[in-house]
Amino acid sequence: MKKFKIILLVFAGLIVAFFSAKTCRSLSVVGKLTELRTDHFVISYQGIYRGDAQDIADRLEKNYDRIRANLNDPAHEVIRVFVHPSQSDFNKGTGLLNSTANGTSRGPNEFHFVWTNWFNSIFPNDPLKTAVHEFTHCVQLNILIKQAQQELAAIAVADFDENFEKKFARDYPQWFWEALSIYYANEVNKISVKYARSKNPSLEYLSNSNQIYNIGYTIIEYIVEKWGVKRLPDLITSYVDIKEVLKVSQSDFEKGWTDFVDEKY
Ligand SMILES: [Zn+2]
Tell me the CA–centroid distance for residue 103 and ligand 1, in Å: 7
Tell me the CA–centroid distance for residue 100 and ligand 1, in Å: 13
d(CA 196, CA 217): 12
Tell me the CA–centroid distance for residue 135 and ligand 1, in Å: 9
Tell me the CA–centroid distance for residue 131 and ligand 1, in Å: 10
Tell me the CA–centroid distance for residue 195 and ligand 1, in Å: 20
Tell me the CA–centroid distance for residue 44 and ligand 1, in Å: 20
Tell me the CA–centroid distance for residue 20 and ligand 1, in Å: 34
d(CA 217, CA 185): 9
Q: What is the pTM of this model?
A: 0.92
Q: Could you give the C-alpha distances from 241 to 73, 78, 238, 246, 248, in angstroms and in order?
A: 19, 30, 5, 8, 10
User: What pLDDT is stored for residue 137 in this prediction?
Assistant: 98
Tell me the average confidence (pLDDT) per consecutive run of 10 residues in the chain, 265 residues long: 76 75 74 95 96 97 98 97 95 91 95 90 88 98 93 73 91 98 97 97 96 98 98 98 98 98 97
Tell me the CA–centroid distance for residue 136 and ligand 1, in Å: 8
3-state helix, strand, coil in the chain (%, to 5): 60, 10, 30
Tell me the CA–centroid distance for residue 119 and ligand 1, in Å: 23
Tell me the CA–centroid distance for residue 149 and ligand 1, in Å: 24
Please give the single-letter amino acid code of residue 21: A
d(CA 191, CA 213): 12
3-state secondary structure of 109: coil
Q: Are 143 and 236 in contact (CB under 8 A)?
A: yes
Tell me the CA–centroid distance for residue 220 and ligand 1, in Å: 14
Tell me the CA–centroid distance for residue 104 and ligand 1, in Å: 7
Please give the single-letter amino acid code of residue 34: T
Beta bridge partners of 221: none
User: What pLDDT is stored for residue 263 in this prediction?
Assistant: 97
Tell me the CA–centroid distance for residue 89 and ligand 1, in Å: 19
d(CA 36, CA 81): 10
Tell me the CA–centroid distance for residue 186 and ligand 1, in Å: 12
User: What pLDDT is stored for residue 168 in this prediction?
Assistant: 95
CATH numbers and ranges of domains, the chain: 34-139 (3.40.30.160), 173-264 (no CATH)
d(CA 262, CA 72): 31
Burial (Cβ within 10 Å: 0-12, 13-18, ≥19) of residue 56? buried
